Amino acid sequence: MRVRHQLPRLAIIVLLLCSASAAFAFPSIARKTKLSCATCHSKVSGGVDLTDAGKAYKADNTKVPAASVAGSDYVGSNKCKMCHMKQHKAWGDTKHSKAFAALVSGDSTLQATQAGALGVKLTGSPATNDACLGCHTVGFKLGGYPPADTTKTASFVNVGCEMCHGPGSKHAAAEKADKKTFINIPTTDAMCKDCHTSAMSPKFAFETYKKTGVHVIPATP
């Protein structure tokens, strides 16, 4: 009797744990804690391997690390283009490369739907609304968008490279042999779901969305 009584409760706890771990992903924790990715992640651009401080935070999110560790900065998608022309071109064919236009000149019905799902009241342009910018630009309020030098704005709008790979200044500057240690390749859906939340993207499914959302380079013979 007792056991049966507790089963639904257990199911609720499991559900809560699952949604908590989805809310764990990138880079909302950085925005919430105001700490660099390197504070909690072994790679300066995030990923699955956590530092001791990151592990403690994962076990108990009231254990916010006391100080930030010097990390990598957002440099914008044009910087990546210098060395990754093919990926940049393929990314240009995905909707991510046009995500800022959805705020500037997007369908007003869709904008209203998204605002409603977020519980946000739209006054003025969504392109100046903090509630919208986090998922439609690069590194919003994390040293990315809006850049101090406005000639660089184009590099920080849209869902750019660093929203999936993490901030890239150290990767861009590193010696070739060290480059991989400074950049993340997302392998799970956790990172996508930081933006593709159930409210904003109810149809999201990693395997199908990956096919059109991630730049794919045609195999070179």
Judged by DSSP in three states, 120 sits in coil
94 pairs with which residues across the strands? none
Distance CA 174, CA 181 (A): 9
Build a one-symbol-per-residue string for 194-213: x at contacts with ligand HEC by CB under 6 A, - elsewhere: xxxx--xx-xx----xx-xx
Phi, psi of 113 (to 5 degrees): -65, -45
Cβ contact 68:97 at 8 Å: no
Instruction: Please state the closest distance from residue 38 (CB atom) to ligand HEC, in A.
Output: 8
Interacting span for ligand HEC (CB under 6 A) from 6-14, 108-116, 143-151: 108-116
Residue closer to ligand HEC by CB (options 153, 172) is 172
Distance CA 62, CA 7 (A): 27
Residue closer to ligand HEC by CB (options 6, 113) is 113
Residue closer to ligand HEC by CB (options 12, 185) is 185
CA distances from 149 to 26, 75, 118, 153, 188 (A): 25, 12, 30, 7, 34
Residues 160-189 that bind ligand HEC (CB under 6 A): 160-166, 168, 171-172, 176, 179-180, 183-188
Build a one-symbol-per-residue string for 52-91: x at contacts with ligand HEC by CB under 6 A, - elsewhere: --x--xx------x---------x-x-xx-xxx--xx--x
Which 8-state DSSP code applies to residue 149?
A: S
- Contact flag: residue 37 with ligand HEC (CB under 6 A): yes
Cβ contact 169:72 at 8 Å: yes
- Contact flag: residue 157 with ligand HEC (CB under 6 A): no
